Amino acid sequence: MKNNQRSIVFEPSGTRVGDYQLGQRLGSGGMGTVYLARQISMNRLVALKILHTELVQKESSLKRFFREMRINANVTSDGFARVYEAGQENGVVFFSMEYVEGQDLNTQLRKTRQPFSEEETLEIALFVAETMGSAWAQNKIVHRDIKPANIIRTVDGEYKLLDLGVSKSFFDHDDAHSLNLTQAHFMVGSPAYMSPEQANETHLDCRADIYSLGITMYHLLTGKLPYDSPSQFEVIAMHFQSPVPDVKEKRPDVSNGTKRLICKMLAKEADDRQASWEELAQQIRKVIARRQFFKRFASVFSGRKFQYYFASAVLVIACILLYLQFISSQNKTLPEQNELGEDRVKQAPVSVAAEQDLDRLREETLEYLLQLSAKYEKENELNKALALWVHFIPPPALKNDEVLRQRIREQIRYLQKQISGNNQQGESVTTE
């Protein structure tokens, strides 16, 4: 449930800039200082960023400041803070944006001294992948500073990605030489989360941000940085030379799926990582779905109700086998029908509860498989859908279930037919 009541108290300072009444300072960076402010005409709280006074007279600083505003304004994803307006008054240069109340993830790590759960870390990673995927699709934006301190959990329990001040857009012609707008030898980004190619100041694309997100996931899961040293130069060297750390060494309870995901994100070469935000998001969803699936059935198998039904089913099956064995021995000496023509061998009783429980387990298994398969089919990835059915290992209770086997065989034949049809269609098009 969302909580729309803000906990922060606005403390007016008596200073006014344009349409904004300044309040307390929220933070300061290399380009400017951010204040909590009240927009008088709209009667709303905003975050107002004011360019440092000493930079106002520098053309390069003004370009970089308004470049940040322009990039923020061009991003329409709900995952970013919205930009309202920019202006200049009496030598004060500023722009206002949505005020996001909450706590950044780095502060939460520091205060609680507890790492994040795997489920929450995957949820955060999926949020960043979807948010940056939208920004990349719209404006080819590279954030260049993804880290826990720039991800905030709002008072509504949602997430926001902050600080596009060092980001780069390949659609922005004025941004073509954005690195030249920084001071000499000024490194853009945070060394602890920086990809090797970003540290080397070579061509960047979304894969540099994917690397930074991988470092962020490792940090959230373990509470530690994978490459850490008092010297920033040593940290950068580790990004180039040190092997990719195994997250399970510090968090043995992390699943192998998450371990493989982070390992691929932290590949030294960009070509060895996920090729796009969309590919990364799909892999994260797959890990989440797999964890939910096994967690769901683990709870079923470990529950007292299941154990009762399973024991009942075993007992019923044993009784059936003994009964059939008894009838078989009797049929050797007795005629098939009595004087009234009634069959001597009656159907053995079967536990209705046991049948219903196995039926429900079978249907839930098929429903899960069909959902995953439909997602692949919708994306025209029929080979992945086929592999899902071919390599599926049923839970122990359904290991020898003939109904489930038959349904799986039917789905495999259906997908094989679809793939064969697509291949034939492609060949006919090529022939023409």
Give the other-Cβ count within 10 Å of 128's Cβ.
26
Quote the CA–CA distance of 377 and 385 in Å, as a whole number: 7
**DSSP string computed for 168-182:** EETT-GGGTTGGGGS
Whether residue 174 lies in the annotated active site = no
Instruction: State the amino acid at position 88 in one-letter form.
Output: Q
Cα 41 to Cα 18: distance, rounded to the nearest angstrom: 10
Angstrom distance (rounded) from CA 227 to CA 414: 49
Beta strands in 20-91 (DSSP E): 20-28, 32-39, 44-51, 83-89
Would you state the torsion angle of the CA atoms of residues 274, 278, 279, 284, taken in this order, to the nearest 10 degrees?
A: 100
In three-state secondary structure terms, 59 is helix
The distance of Cα 20 from the centroid of its chain, to the nearest Å, equals 37
Please, what is the Cα angle at 290 between 285 and 296, to 5 degrees? 125
One-letter amino acid of 40: I
The active-site residue out of 19, 104, 145, 271 is: 145
Query: What are the residue numbers of the active site?
Result: 145
